[in-house]
Structure formats: C-alpha cells, structure tokens
Amino acid sequence: MNTQVLFNTSKRVIGFVNQKGGVGKTASTLSIGTGLALAGQKVLIIDGDPQGNLTMFFTADKAPGFYDFLRDLNDGTFSDTGKYILRDVRERLDIIPNQQRELRTLLHDSQIAEIAPRFIELLRELKTSYDWVLIDCSPSNGALERTLVSACDTVIVPLEFQVFSISGLSGLLDEIKVWGGETGRDISVEALIFTKTEKRINRMNEYREIFSNFRIPIFEVCKSESLPKSIETGRTIWESAPTGFAAADYYDIITHVFLGTDDE
C-alpha cells in the first residue's frame, strides 16, 4: 500500500480559523495534527492562541515558544527558528508552544503588524522541513490573527451548525480575502468542519443545505463525550477512543482533505 498526498503539496501551512471561540478549533487542530503524525507525516503545530490550550495539552515545559518568536523578531534578537520548537511531543510531531497569555498586552498590534512580513517569510522557509504546518489561530480578528492567516497557504474553518455561524462565516471569508490580497496571495478555504454535530436532529439538514451555498467542502464531527474527556486526561482521540465516532469523522477528514491511499 502506498500513501499519496492528494492535497496540493504547495499548500502545507494550514490555519484553523474562526473568530468565535468554543467551536472545536483547538480540538480539530490537535486531532488532525496527531492523526497525520500517526499516518507517517512529519507535522509541526503552532499554538497561535494566547490561551495556550494546545501547549497545555502537550507540555508544561517553559521553553521559548511563539511569544518569544514574535518578541525576538520585534526587538531584533531573533536568531534561529529551531530555538522556538519543542520537538517530539509525539512521534513525528513538533510544536511551537505558546505559554504567554498576556501576548496581546506585551506586543501591541502595531508591533505585530511591523514584524508580520518577516514572520510570514520564516514560516515559508520552515515548511520545507515538514509535510504539514498546522496553526491554531486565536478567536479574534486583530493584528495577531491577520498575521497568522496571512502566513497560511490555506485555512480550515471549524464551526457549529447555528444560525449565527452563517453571518460569522461570511464575514470571515471576506476578511481572509482581504488579508490575502494585502500580501499578494490567494488564501483558499479548504474545508468547513462542523463539530459537535447531532446527526439525528432534523434541523441539521436545513443547515447543511444553507452552508452548501458557500461551495466549500463540508465535513462533520459527531458530538462526542470521548473527545473532551480524552483531552482532559492528556490523551488524543487516537489514544483514548480510536474506534469511536469522533475518531472516525476526523479520520475521514484526514483521508479526504490531506491524504489518500492507493493499493498496488
């Protein structure tokens, strides 16, 4: 069996983006990132959210990370990208952690905007060392989020089947288009991931029809108690409930959006 990458291999920096919190963005980044690593891919996760939930999952190590990366770019002391990477938090999986909740206070929007071009350039260099670079973006639309999205080749939007998600998605898509245009790049939206889906509820079909009008591939992750419980205990969905519904749904996303298999 040969594993082939079906995703456009020039699009290896992928942001998980939504300006609303609590939609499963971090859980999706974690589940897809660790699933790709289990599939034999070399993965770097960047915890771009000052809340640092991904970092708390993987480590309590106080090594330099995302905030230090930006700070050193700002004050001119940046030397080597590798300094900020915590390696082998899982097999074939590295992370740039984020342990500074006060990032937005310590680095103002004007400072982040000033270093954005250099940050984007460094990420383009960094992706040559990995099959995939996944960025967990914070739920906001300030200079930090603009910089993170602008560094991406493409984005994935986790969200919920809710009426408020419709206008939120429209606004987000407009902003992504603007941010990409500012850097002279076309940042595509690769997929929508609807998390916490209750598939037996009839109104879900109405939402599916509405969101299909955005003409972006839609994937669903079944609402599951096993996913949050596994994260609380420091285990991925693949380690705690690999045969559950949530794992099956994330496996489907990994297979169809990122990887494919050919039997020979």
Q: Domain residues of the chain, as ranges? A: 2-262
| Confidence at residue 2, expressed as pLDDT on a 0 to 100 scale | 33
Strand partners, 220: 194
| Confidence at residue 201, expressed as pLDDT on a 0 to 100 scale | 64
| Confidence at residue 98, expressed as pLDDT on a 0 to 100 scale | 95
Give the angle subtended at the CA of 134 by the CAs of 130 and 140, to the nearest 5°: 150
CA distance 197 to 117: 38
Write the CATH number of the domain with boundaries 2-262. Answer: 3.40.50.300
How crowded is residue 225: how many other Cβ atoms within 10 Å of its Cβ? 10
pTM: 0.91
| Confidence at residue 264, expressed as pLDDT on a 0 to 100 scale | 38
Strand residues in 49-187 grouped as ranges (E): 86-90, 93-96, 132-137, 154-159
| Confidence at residue 223, expressed as pLDDT on a 0 to 100 scale | 86
| Confidence at residue 261, expressed as pLDDT on a 0 to 100 scale | 53
| Confidence at residue 260, expressed as pLDDT on a 0 to 100 scale | 66
pLDDT in tens, the chain (264 residues): 233 344 455 568 999 999 888 889 999 999 999 999 999 999 999 999 999 999 999 987 888 999 999 999 999 999 899 999 999 999 999 999 999 999 999 999 999 999 999 999 999 999 899 999 999 998 888 999 999 999 999 999 999 887 778 888 999 999 999 999 888 888 999 999 999 887 666 677 888 888 889 999 999 998 888 888 888 889 999 999 999 999 999 999 999 999 865 433
DSSP code at position 162? -
Token digits of residue 101? 């909740």
Token digits of residue 228? 């949050």
| Confidence at residue 199, expressed as pLDDT on a 0 to 100 scale | 65
State whether residue 219 is helix, strand or coil.
Answer: strand
Could you read off the pLDDT of 148-173 as tens digits, one per residue? 999 999 999 999 887 778 888 999 99
State whether residue 193 is helix, strand or coil.
Answer: strand
| Confidence at residue 210, expressed as pLDDT on a 0 to 100 scale | 87
- C-beta of residue 95 within 8 angstroms of C-beta of residue 133: no
Residues 6+ apart with CB under 8 A from 192: 156, 157, 158, 159, 169, 211, 214, 216, 217, 218, 219
Residue with tokens 């590295």: 94
Pairing of strands 2-5, 43-48: unpaired
Token digits of residue 155? 């984005």
